[in-house]
Chain A
């Protein structure tokens, strides 16, 4: 029972991280990106490549994936949003869909269409080494995933709520024209926010990639949808909402796997999200304003 909870929280913390990235992006640009899952996939493949061909170091993989997906995010924002700032919203949406298809194809070209994994010997220590806490076992990998995801969420919260750039991001998310009139370089804030949100997706990719040790070009599709859904369930612009929704979905999935069968997990996750949205159409934290950390 407790084990299921730990499994669920581990998985859920990554959903939460992905959903948080999505929420920051939507909260600021007021635009949906459909390439978030592919940024996640990109981060995962960075992890695969570094572990397999360079050195099995988690910090290094996280760092490189962070840099790569930060740049990916900045480029996606510039191509899909900045270039189309005055175009109808649909155009940007379509371009992000196009970019996600291009990214999947690129991954097929570079890494092959087949499912790949890191040679088990290289992650043995991480995956099977375990420690006992309060009488139950947690693997190093679970601790690492949970720890990194939580650290990233705390760091993001601090960045948005307690730094001067975070203040400019919040101001821009609430009224970008007024922010522009105060001298804020709104374009730069949009690109930066998108890059930071994408970086969180990339880090989630490394974590999930290592956790399950399966990598394939379309691995981001379902997770992208799930992150989007978790973000919507959380209220779409609420950071605490995204985190709570992500964690809850992870835990529910984990119990579903335990009680029924692993193949029902997505079904259970989406049924849960649909129920929440029927009960609270604006999401768990639906009433909260733009990019609010207070979530009330």
Chain B
């Protein structure tokens, strides 16, 4: 459903993405792995249209989406969970969810989705009127996912959902990701540094290094790749 071909992105003169190609299939969980500053967030922002890819194509359902602003990309069915969650801190949990559905006008369906989120994420039901900024990091991550799902996407792109969370919460987050994928059929592009965790739920993965994809394959292949084990999986 999503296909990037030879995408190049620049910040000024800085060449951040040097020809990225990757694919996400319908309902698939794919992870994009890599260390700090290798261009994971830039890949995500290029897909969303928050930064413009200078060269290459980004297709969604066979349609060109590179060059479109985020509003069009989100409308097409791609929704982001941003790095560090980026909830609106002074809005309530409920208002944050409403913002997730900003581009939708089907009131009844929005309401139904909000109720569904309350079931999927207990924290949403419990803290409806609480300011999002006063939630713990893990709780915020749940709300951030709920907010992204409120756009009614078919593809969710998540930028490091495990960042800064305790191991226990990381597990919960990944369980929920799997759950949403299985129940709602939402495809996931999972950007992560936590390769072990990400590959435990992903079907396939890509490894990014200084703006280039250096390795790709099924989750099993990557988990058993010696190079991968040494650099990213912490296997001695």
Q: How far is the CA of A185 from the CA of B50 in the complex (A)?
A: 12
Query: When A and B form their complex, which 6 residue pairs have the shortest distance between CB atoms, in order from nearest?
Result: A183-B71, A178-B86, A183-B103, A183-B74, A289-B90, A174-B88
* Count, chain A residues at interface, CB 8 A: 21
A184 interface neighbour in B82, B90, B102, Cβ under 8 Å: B102
Interface residues of A (CB under 8 A from B): 164, 167-168, 170-171, 174-175, 177-185, 289-292, 294
Segment at the A interface, from B13-21, B91-99, B115-123, B192-200: B91-99
Q: How far is the CA of A88 from the CA of B74 in the complex (A)?
A: 30
Task: Check B90 against A174 for contact (C-beta < 8 Å).
Answer: yes
Q: How far is the CA of A70 from the CA of B191 in the complex (A)?
A: 44
Q: Is B161 an interface residue (CB 8 A)?
A: no
B99 interface neighbour in A167, A289, A294, Cβ under 8 Å: A167
Q: How far is the CA of A180 from the CA of B88 in the complex (A)?
A: 12
5 of the cross-chain contacts (CB-CB < 8 Å) are: A179-B88, A179-B99, A182-B102, A183-B75, A184-B71
Task: Check B100 against A174 for contact (C-beta < 8 Å).
Answer: no
Q: How far is the CA of A185 from the CA of B75 in the complex (A)?
A: 13
Q: How far is the CA of A171 from the CA of B86 in the complex (A)?
A: 11
Q: Is B211 an interface residue (CB 8 A)?
A: no
Other CB < 8 Å A-B pairs besides A168-B99, A174-B89, A181-B86, 18 of them? Answer: A164-B98, A167-B91, A170-B88, A171-B91, A174-B88, A175-B86, A175-B88, A177-B50, A178-B82, A178-B87, A181-B70, A181-B80, A182-B102, A182-B103, A182-B151, A183-B103, A290-B90, A292-B90
Q: How far is the CA of A178 from the CA of B71 in the complex (A)?
A: 12
Q: How many A-B residue pairs have CB under 8 A?
A: 66
Residue of A nearest to B133 (CB): A289
Q: Is B145 an interface residue (CB 8 A)?
A: no
Given the interface pairs A177-B50, A184-B102, A289-B133, the reply to whether A170 lies near B90 with Cβ below 8 Å is yes
B95 interface neighbour in A167, A184, A291, Cβ under 8 Å: A167
Q: How far is the CA of A233 from the CA of B155 in the complex (A)?
A: 46
Per-residue CB proximity of B48-67 to A under 8 Å, as 1/0?
10100000000000000000
Point out which of B70, B90, B98 has the most chain A C-beta atoms below 10 A from its C-beta.
Answer: B90
Nearest Cβ on chain A to B6's Cβ, whole angstroms = 24
Q: B48: which A residues are within 8 A, CB to CB?
A: 181
Residue of B nearest to A291 (CB): B90
Nearest Cβ on chain A to B234's Cβ, whole angstroms = 32
Point out which of B82, B102, B103, B133 has the most chain A C-beta atoms below 10 A from its C-beta.
Answer: B102
